Structure 1
């Protein structure tokens, strides 16, 4: 019987996908994987498979197991604070039951939930690999929370005591006290909840048997000098395999891209949780139109609550007006899109998994960060790697259509940025090839798993 590993992601697309990619890699090395997700996430993954209703076969033998998320039927599962609170009190018991039932010896836990199940796993003599779907620099910041408090950057509740930005070390992305890693919209109680959760996860990560990160050495060389315990094993990908998409992929866009010249298309996508207000969506739409370049734009059904009445009529008219130049889809196969020769720049919310997909393919980026680690990643792109540019909001905090148009043209025509992106993409590919640092680190992880399962 093949050894079995349990994998536990945060129930969000940007966390499910890299852990699903990691699961495929483990299956390729002769292991069986129990992939634990909430009931809502389970339903979304199966829905995203479309006509491929046999999830076990579609996922290459990865076994999906659903657990309750701790919320009531009427609760808003888009509310990150509520979702985190529900998961925090419900996950322990369910993970304990599954460990006893499957008799696994290793739990690969997302760094954002590892603190919720650490004590249960250790009680049952299960070893833990903490996996970070975020940059090593971001994870390292969380690991240094006690030092940051002692140095006077934050108080004991995670509230900034200084203003502006500071560096943990030269050539690392700056940390902005206004954009703390646990910062979300909400009052002091919400902020405190996220800070406490971040602190708990950081403590569990420190005590884990292994700490893995979806990144590669050349992207974050200084971070690995600061945090040598973190092993880079990325960029993870699973070309041609199902990776747990929450929405059905519109594959028409690949043929649409085929009809366009190399490096000519602007690809705009903002992940699975980013939400814009209607006026900002209008500025973005008109900015893409004003740029005059072909564009592929992913607009989720829940991208804004403002699509209704006249607003929907306006957007329909925009689509009709730009039909010869742009294409709007609700979701797409992003790995295929970013690997396509026609894509010349990626307008992104700076989600780490999306950025890694762009890096691997040498695609320049235009940054529009939303929350959490997005600001750290923006700094990497625009200041450290210099493989893209950052958008500048106006005094009202919004991005104007003129800014969108101007910055799209700048990033897509800047050959120096393009060359840096290609160089970093080559480095990413070397890290994954036999003998590369990510390749060797993953082999080390697999050998340890096999020796102890």
Structure 2
């Protein structure tokens, strides 16, 4: 028993961070490690309730085969809004390091799960400072693009060079910023800490990111959910950052896991049998992740636009949606669910294209399945991801807003028709799928990086 490494995995408390770190955790378990997965108490409750009955007993107790779930408080009150990321970052920074220290002490006292290594999300990199007090080494995982990692890594030099000030405010009058000659220029809007929503304090987000980046030097390994073909420029600019993507769930896991662990909402699997009834390459998959909120006007335009396309659609509308369907909306060609097993959906032959918010997980899953994109970013790095999908990879189209700042129902129909009639985009998507997926088969670059990491853990 003693030579099995016990890895503490610490994701940032948001669905788009928990997901890839949970996939990584399951891969570590499949390769002979034990994993203790740390959520905030708030997210832990969501994750456990999303299992449904069938899984609750199987995830925590089969020590050898499963990821052990543990939790600590996030420093916010019961009624605080966790979507207010500036408030969340404040809470995490002020209370979670102490709570993590107590947790590790407690586990070491009990003696059954002595932590041998910490894998922290870059947005939780302060966990490595906590680990250092116990002599525990660590790695960081960046669950977004290497380009955004390169931006964060460059913050000190951007401040030093007068591009931004120490609060992240842009000082330059230039429209674009060049981080490295090997990378495409970034737009002012790509400095995403001020794109987090009207009520969110970008300065707090910026200071939190700077604080996390200061712990980077404590990490033995820097890992990223990307591949060399996708981001050669950013990866050559930060050679220490190793691609281990695409991080995809293995549904044929020997532990018989049918549902994805780590979801905040229960997946509605009925959409899979519905997809089986549709013709190949006909269905629009419409999903905007865990944060996006539309106002009533925009929600209505999207609904009417889906009707206008006259095509079958699978639309994910979260339970927290407060919008009403417009009375003209028929929706008879579509199926609406509150949360979907996205990777399974995207790999289904009925899917024709992916209408997405361009979160990095969704981007990677779409690319891994050769599905063309219709891009509708909401905030943060999604704006840069859209430009990357449309302008660099050329496997998608963006929506244009009208003079009222709305994507109209006619625009939805126009772009759907345009992308589905474009054979070049389809063939480029399939070529890219092959390149991306070759990274995780035997001899693939990402798999080799992951295997080197596991081997190092076991030494």
Interval of TM-score (by shorter of Structure 1 and Structure 2):
over 0.9
Q: Say whether the 8 Å CA contact 1:249–1:333 is kept in structure 2.
A: yes
Which stretch shifts more, 172-181 or 11-20? 172-181
Residue 89 (str. 1) matches residue 108 (str. 2): no
Q: 1:371 aligns with which of 379, 382, 395?
A: 379
Correspondences of 1:26-175 after superposition (within 5 Å): 26-52=28-54, 53-54=56-57, 55-56=59-60, 61-100=66-105, 101=107, 102-114=113-125, 116-161=126-171, 162-169=173-180, 172-175=183-186
Q: Say whether the 8 Å CA contact 1:174–1:379 is kept in structure 2.
A: no
* TM-score, length of structure 1 as denominator length: 0.93
Gaps of 5+ in 2: 108-112, 252-256
Which stretch shifts more, 136-145 or 393-402? 393-402
Partner of 1:447: 455
Residue 177 (str. 1) matches residue 188 (str. 2): yes
- How much has 1:260 moved relative to structure 2? 1.4
Alpha-carbon distance between aligned partners in 2 of 1:394 and 1:440, rounded to the nearest angstrom: 47
Correspondences of 1:18-417 after superposition (within 5 Å): 18-52=20-54, 53-54=56-57, 55-56=59-60, 61-100=66-105, 101=107, 102-114=113-125, 116-161=126-171, 162-169=173-180, 172-183=183-194, 184-186=196-198, 190-240=201-251, 241=257, 242-303=260-321, 305=322, 307=323, 311=324, 314=326, 318=329, 321-323=330-332, 325-417=333-425
Q: Say whether the 8 Å CA contact 1:143–1:203 is kept in structure 2.
A: no
Alpha-carbon distance between aligned partners in 1 of 2:210 and 2:354, rounded to the nearest angstrom: 33
Alpha-carbon distance between aligned partners in 2 of 1:203 and 1:432, rounded to the nearest angstrom: 31
Q: Say whether the 8 Å CA contact 2:395–2:425 is kept in structure 1.
A: yes
Aligned residues: 439
- How much has 1:11 moved relative to structure 2? 1.1
> What SS does the aligned partner of 1:89 have?
helix
Q: 1:247 to 1:155 in 2, by over 3 A?
A: same
Q: 1:10 aligns with which of 9, 12, 16?
A: 12
Q: 1:181 to 1:44 in 2, by over 3 A?
A: same
> What SS does the aligned partner of 1:197 have?
helix
Partner of 2:110: none
* TM-score, length of structure 2 as denominator length: 0.92
Q: Say whether the 8 Å CA contact 1:149–1:155 is kept in structure 2.
A: yes
- How much has 1:186 moved relative to structure 2? 4.2
Residue 437 (str. 1) matches residue 455 (str. 2): no
Q: Say whether the 8 Å CA contact 1:163–1:178 is kept in structure 2.
A: no
Gaps of 5+ in 1: none
Q: Report Cα offsets for 1:296-355 as digits up to 9, x if no partner.
A: 10001223x3x3xxx35x36x62xx222x1111111111110000010100000010111
Q: 1:248 to 1:107 in 2, by over 3 A?
A: same
Q: 1:151 to 1:403 in 2, by over 3 A?
A: farther
Alpha-carbon distance between aligned partners in 2 of 1:427 and 1:104, rounded to the nearest angstrom: 36
Q: 1:171 to 1:227 in 2, by over 3 A?
A: closer
Q: Say whether the 8 Å CA contact 1:179–1:371 is kept in structure 2.
A: no
Alpha-carbon distance between aligned partners in 2 of 1:254 and 1:89, rounded to the nearest angstrom: 43
Alpha-carbon distance between aligned partners in 1 of 2:8 and 2:104, rounded to the nearest angstrom: 8
Instruction: Give every structure 1 segment of 4 or more consecutive aligned residues whose post-TM-superposition deviation is greater than 4 Å.
Output: 57-60
Q: Say whether the 8 Å CA contact 1:173–1:376 is kept in structure 2.
A: no
Q: Report Cα offsets for 1:274-308 as digits up to 9, x if no partner.
A: 111111100111111111211110001223x3x3x
Q: Report Cα offsets for 1:41-73 as digits up to 9, x if no partner.
A: 111111111122213269951000011111112
Alpha-carbon distance between aligned partners in 1 of 2:186 and 2:62, rounded to the nearest angstrom: 41
- How much has 1:438 moved relative to structure 2? 0.2
- How much has 1:118 moved relative to structure 2? 2.9
Q: Report Cα offsets for 1:144-200 as digits up to 9, x if no partner.
A: 00112233321221101235233434573542213413222347x811111111112
Alpha-carbon distance between aligned partners in 1 of 2:178 and 2:439, rounded to the nearest angstrom: 27
Alpha-carbon distance between aligned partners in 1 of 2:219 and 2:415, rounded to the nearest angstrom: 43
Q: Say whether the 8 Å CA contact 2:122–2:212 is kept in structure 1.
A: yes
Q: Say whether the 8 Å CA contact 1:290–1:405 is kept in structure 2.
A: yes
